Structure 1
C-alpha cells in the first residue's frame, strides 16, 4: 500500500515528503490503536481491533499525502503575465476640422471664413477629451487633405504645409500636455473622398463621373475628362457642392484612460452573465483581479481559452490553473493547444511529475531552463529530492 501511494503521488522525486507524512501516520495510527486496546476486552478481540486500527490509519493518511503533494506542485507551476493585462486602457476619437485658407495660403487664420466657429468647436471638444482622460492625451495624429482642383503637385504641397501650420496652431492655442506627441501627415488630393461623396449624392451626373474614376487613376486625366462634361457645368457643380468638404484636417486623438472601479465591477459581472461580449483584453484584466491558483482565476482563464482559442497566454494560464487545482486532464487538454511553445515546458514537467513520469519531468524542466533558469533549477531539485 505504501509503495503504491508513493508512486501515485510523484514517483521517486517526492520521497522527501514521506518522512513528515509517515510520522503523522505512525502517530495517528498508534493513538487509535492505543485507544482501541483500552476500550476493547475479551479473548480474540485484540487481533480484530488491530486490523480495524490499521484501516482507519490508512484512511487518515491518504488525504494528507494528497494535500502535501498538491502544495508542492503549486510551488512548481508557472503563470504568464500577459501584456494586455498590464497595458493601459487606450481610447481613440476622430475629429474633423474644415479649416478655410485663402488661395495658396498656409497660415491658420481664426478670423478667415468660418474658422472662428470651426476652431472654437474643436477647442471645446479637445478640452473635454483632455479633462475626461485626466490630461492623459498621449498622441494626436493630424492628416491634411486637399480638394482635387488645380495642380496635383501644388495641392500636395499645400496640404503638407497647411497640416504643419495647423499642428503649430494646436500646440500654441490649446495648451496640450507636455507628454502629448503631435504627428503630421498629408494625403494631398482626396479623390477617394470625392468618390464617397458622389456615391452618397443624388447628382444625375454621379454615375458618369464614377465611370471616369474606373477608367483612369491619373488625376490630370480625370480632371480633364470631368471638365469636358456638359461644357464644364458638371465640374463647376462638383467644385461648388463637394470641394469644401474635401479640404480638411482629420485628427485622431489617442487617450490613456483611467480604469474606474465601477467599470471593473461591470466586467466581473459580465464575465459570468455575457462572457461572449467581452474582448480578450477585458477578460485578461478580470483575471488579474484574482490570485493565480484560485478557482475564480481558473474560471476566467478557461472562459478566455475557450472563447479565444488562438490566444496562447489564455491556454497556458488555463492549464496552469487546472494543475494548481489537481485537474490533470483539463491541464493536458490546454497544454495540447500550445504544443511546442517554450513557455509550456515547465508545466508539462509538473504534469509529468503528477503522472509519476520522473524522466519526462526532468527533460521538460531542462528544456525550460532557457526561459526561467531559477524556477527550472528549483523544480529539478524537488525531483531529485534535494529540497
Structure 2
C-alpha cells in the first residue's frame, strides 16, 4: 500500500468528525454490481478529504475486460479528476502489471480478490469546492468492442456553505534551539556509620543495600554507550542531636569517606567529584514535624524556625517536649543522617529519524526538544505519531515555552481546546504564542478576542496573522 494512501487514511479517520457532510445511504452502480457505501467528505484547514467504501463483491469482470471507477469534483467551469480505481479480469490485470499502466498500482485490483475497496483521498481545498458536486463515471473496457460508460452523481453538495465558512486555522510550530543535552539522576542513601565515627564499613548493618543504590545509579549511566558522566556530587547530612561542632566533623568526614569509597570502585579521577555537607538537617526535620500529629507540633515548629543557636534549639525541644522529642530521636533522626547524590551526564546527539522514533517510544528522556521536533518533520501533520511526538515533548519538558506552544497547536488540531488553553498559559509571549492564543480564541468562538490577539501577533511580525485575520473576517461576515 502506498505510503501517501496510508497517511491519507490516518488523517481521514482523525478528521472526519470535523466539518463533515452527512454520510449517505448506499448507492448502486452498474445495475447493482457495485455499491458505494459510507460516503463522506470533510474539510480541515486547507485540505479536502474524500472517503468511501466501494463494494465490488457482486462485480463479475471477464478475463479480458476491466471496470474503471473514476470520481470527479466539479462546479461550473471547475473540474478535478480524482484518481481512478480499476477492477480488472485476469488477463487485463497482468497486462497492466507488465506494461506499467497509467493506473496507479495501489488502485489496481484483480476481479474476485477483494470484496470492498476503501477509497481515501486528500486534495488541496479551493474555495470553489463549496457546494461542488461529486460524480463518478464507470467505464467498462475490453480488448474488443466499444467502452460502456455510465455517469452517476454521488453527492450534489460536497461541502455546505455553513461548513465552508467555519474557521480553519494554520498552525505555527516553533523549531527549538539546539542545546547540549545535560541530564542528571538523583537519590538518597542512608549509610550507617559507627557512633561518633567517620569510618565506612561496607558490610555494616544496611550498608550493602544503600551502597548498591549509589553504584547502580552510576552504572546505569556509565554502561550506556550514548552517555558520558560529567560529574558526581555527594552531600552528607547529620541529625540535630549532639553538639553542632561535632556534627560538622561527622557530616564533613563521612561525606569525604563515602566519596573515596565510590571513587575507588571505579578509579574515577578526583576532579569528577564535588562534595558538600549539612551539619544538621533542620529542613528535613521541619518537613516531618509539619506533616506530623505530634502533641506540640506548632510549638516545635516555632522553635525550629527561631533564630536560636542549633545546640540551644535542640536542647529546648528536648527539655520542654520530652515525649515528642523521644519520638523524633527514635523514629525521625536516623532518617536525617543521609547522603544525597547526583550523577550529572551528557547524552550524545541523534540524527537518524528511525533511531529517534525508537527512543520516543522507549527512552524519551534521552532526546532533546530539537530532536523531537526534527523527527516530527518526517511525519504527516495531524497523524497519530505526529501528535504523540509533541505530547511526549511537553511531558518531558513541562516548563518549556516552546514545548507548550507546540503541544497547544497539536491539542487545537485535535479539537481539545481546554487542554490547549492549559498549554498556552506556559507558552510565553512570542509572536507565535500570541498568534496561537488568537487561533484558540477564534476556535472558541470569541472572535473579538481573536481579532485583538491576531493583530498583536501581526505587529510582532507573525506573517501568518494577516491571512488568519482575513479568514476571520470572512467567517464573521458569513454570520451576519
TM-score tier (shorter): 0.3 to 0.5
- More strand by proportion, 1 or 2? 2
Provide TM-score, normalisation by structure 2.
Answer: 0.40
- More helix by proportion, 1 or 2? 1
Higher relative contact order (CA 8 A, sep 6+): 1
